[in-house]
Structure 1
């Protein structure tokens, strides 16, 4: 079965220079979408777009390299303003950028635990600032690339930076739970997905072997397709719509998370 073309669709993929993000950008572009390829630096983003053009048969006009270091919220804000200025209509935002929490407790220059900021707060801020572009026409959606490990997480509301008790696995799980809870925010239609255990930089958190990044990306791309009907706040384990952790759908959790994220990012939705 041949996948339907996505010509005319514009998609921003964060963390698109490697792994699932790169393969997601590749598959979207091969189906005709215009893809904003995000990297941590301008050089990394440009290198990824050059590679897509050289090896994936993608036209240069379909790609736009954009950059922001998610450990710096001011760069996230600059990225959002640039995207809205150059692409006032955005069909899909794929919140894919992520990192494993480091062994040693690390705080960013913005004052946040690094995994919580990179995996969740930066995406919260980016999504909030891109809301005008995502809602400029019907059908805009957000796809949060989360993790099955969100089920083991809990959000430390009074100590989200985990200064009192730090564990890299707990910090990572907290960031993934927050990203999954965020999908239930009513402002922009959003879903979360665990793309499966894939052979990426995050593999050591899960197992010794996994599926290819391209296989994981295919599940993400399916949710970017307007032919795939979605319900706000839905959670997918690969191609199966399943229930997330109970905390991910609690209205109180959504409200508390929005309040916390607004405080930590300095952005009031």
Structure 2
């Protein structure tokens, strides 16, 4: 049955074709939201929508599909422009797409370490470009699906691509710290959430077992609900609001990260 607080709200979920992103999309659609499903390819996005209709019984009219490979910033930019053109009012953006950093140091065609780009820079660019849609009416919000591993991280300001000293765990943690810091940017109201250790492709970074993606998704969907009051920059560990790593709320770090991100995505003045 549609939930009155989420009914007809428009939500874009990145990385919606599997894991927490897919389950978040399912729960949002079941509660009456209009869900924009993002996948790496059009085929993957369409397949996810078809599964939601066939298996979960979601109304096809509540689903729209979009594609962009986050290892290519030009595709992220094209995605944002298409979403704004088709949905000039966007209630929620769920920045969920993510990858585990590979064993070997890998750089995208844009010149960025792949985990830093997919997990943070692509979402930074997407959020900045979607700002007009998210702020077209009061109440627009961003939910960053982050990680408790952000507490172990530090941002290598002079070598964000970690070309000199690479560790897959450190690279992944750095991307999650950056995403958590970005939630405190004042341009759009945003929060970060560690949804719990879930049985997804990222689980080997944490442990040998975890809860189901559906259980993790409930912690994301909760923060999409306008009935839940949020404070910009807040960080949640599952359903509980807790303090993030100290760097995540430092004005100096926020400004420095924005400057770095603008430089790496080619938006620097």
Instruction: Identify the residue that residue 142 of structure 1 maps to in structure 2.
Output: 142
SS in structure 2 at match of 1:98: coil
Give the Cα separation in 2 of the matches to 1:70 and 1:168: 18
- With normalisation by structure 1, the TM-score equals 0.98
**Can you list the C-alpha shifts for 1:23-63, whole angstroms capped at 9, x where unaligned?**
00000000000000000000000000010011111111100
SS in structure 2 at match of 1:65: strand
Instruction: Identify the residue that residue 204 of structure 2 maps to in structure 1.
Output: 204
SS in structure 1 at match of 2:50: helix
Give the Cα separation in 2 of the matches to 1:228 and 1:267: 33
Instruction: Identify the residue that residue 6 of structure 2 maps to in structure 1.
Output: 6
Instruction: Identify the residue that residue 233 of structure 2 maps to in structure 1.
Output: 233
1:266 CA drift (Å) = 1.2
SS in structure 2 at match of 1:223: helix
1:8 CA drift (Å) = 1.7
Instruction: Identify the residue that residue 47 of structure 1 maps to in structure 2.
Output: 47
CA contact (8 A) 2:155 2:174 kept: yes
Displacement over 6 Å in runs of 4+: none
SS in structure 2 at match of 1:32: coil
Instruction: Identify the residue that residue 86 of structure 2 maps to in structure 1.
Output: 86
Give the Cα separation in 2 of the matches to 1:84 and 1:268: 22
Q: CA RMSD in A?
A: 1.1
- With normalisation by structure 2, the TM-score equals 0.98
1:7 CA drift (Å) = 1.2
**Can you list the C-alpha shifts for 1:224-260, whole angstroms capped at 9, x where unaligned?**
0000000000000000000000000000000000000
Instruction: Identify the residue that residue 101 of structure 2 maps to in structure 1.
Output: 101
Give the Cα separation in 1 of the matches to 2:146 and 2:3: 24
Unaligned runs of 5+ in 1: none
Count, aligned residues? 268
Give the Cα separation in 2 of the matches to 1:111 and 1:268: 15
- With over 3 angstroms needed to count, the CA separation of the structure-2 counterparts of 1:5 and 1:137, relative to structure 1, is closer
Residues 168-183 of structure 1 correspond to what in structure 2 (within 5 A)? 168-183=168-183
SS in structure 2 at match of 1:76: helix
Instruction: Identify the residue that residue 116 of structure 1 maps to in structure 2.
Output: 116
Residues 53-72 of structure 1 correspond to what in structure 2 (within 5 A)? 53-72=53-72
Unaligned runs of 5+ in 2: none
